[in-house]
């Protein structure tokens, strides 16, 4: 992964992890993120609307840093790249998907939650990994245990992170940023609650600054 992209993600500290069910929600959501000081999004491939949503967000807001999340295979990598994703995030570490991204020259941040998976990542040349599902896997104490022996690895914890614990993770050395859904819940997106999402985004930015 390029130093430039890593520095960009590190500067945001919080990466909104977004599920879009309807492509019509994509541009208003992008607008809300950009205007409230958090121009970054991980759009998850959990719905049919993901690729088209990324494309529309990229067109409307070229300055938005957009990644594709929950990417499970090469076909989804192709869809994400065609739509304009800058990086790929996966819930687990699938060596085939990692190698495919490396062949295509697109950064991937795969999910790991134990030492064997971290070493598999290192074997594939990866030093920036997602710690997922963070809270369910032992939270901050487990992450500290992983950071200790692997001094070259940095993490993006995701899963169960919210206002109450985000700074506990960000306070750890080599935790560059955290993924979170609390400011962009699927229910709020579905309901088009852009003002409330905007308020929560501003609050999140302030919380981690």
What one-character-per-residue DSSP string does 134-201 give? TGGGTHHHHHHHHHTT-TT-EEEEBSS--TTTHHHHHTSTTB--EEE-TTS-HHHHHHT-HHHHHHHH
Please tell me which residue in 13, 24, 42, 119 is annotated as part of the active site: 42
Rounded Cα–Cα distance for residues 40 and 67 (Å): 8
130 an active-site residue? Answer: yes
Q: Which helix (H) or strand (E) holds 106?
A: none
Rounded Cα–Cα distance for residues 53 and 73 (Å): 19
Determine contact, residues 141/156, Cβ cutoff 8 Å: no
Determine the straight-line distance between the first and last CA of the chain, rounded to whole angstroms: 24
42 an active-site residue? Answer: yes
Please tell me which residue in 86, 119, 130, 193 is annotated as part of the active site: 130
- Token representation of residue 49: 């609307």
DSSP state of 63: T
Q: How distant is the alpha carbon of residue 117 from its chain centre?
A: 19
Q: Which helix (H) or strand (E) holds 34?
A: helix 26-35
Catalytic site residues?
Answer: 42, 130
């Amino acid at each position: 992964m390029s130093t430039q992209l890593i520095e960009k993600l590190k500067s945001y500290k919080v990466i909104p992890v977004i599920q879009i069910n309807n492509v019509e929600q994509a541009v208003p959501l992008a607008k809300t993120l950009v205007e409230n000081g958090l121009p970054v999004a991980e759009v998850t491939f959990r719905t049919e609307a993901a690729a088209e949503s990324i494309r529309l967000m990229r067109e409307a807001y070229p300055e938005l840093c957009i990644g594709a999340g929950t990417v499970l295979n090469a076909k989804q990598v192709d869809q994400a790249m065609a739509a304009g994703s800058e990086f790929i995030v996966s819930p687990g570490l699938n060596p085939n998907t990692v190698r495919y991204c490396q062949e295509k020259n697109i950064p991937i941040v795969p999910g790991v939650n134990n030492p064997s998976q971290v070493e598999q990542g290192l074997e594939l040349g990866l030093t920036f990994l997602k710690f997922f599902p963070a809270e369910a896997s032992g939270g901050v104490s487990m992450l500290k245990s992983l950071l200790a022996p692997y001094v070259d690895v940095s993490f993006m914890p995701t899963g169960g992170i919210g206002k109450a614990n985000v700074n506990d993770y960000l306070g750890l050395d080599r935790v560059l940023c955290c993924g979170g859904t609390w400011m962009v819940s699927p229910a709020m997106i579905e309901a088009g609650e852009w003002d409330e999402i905007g308020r929560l985004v501003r609050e999140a930015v302030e919380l981690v600054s």
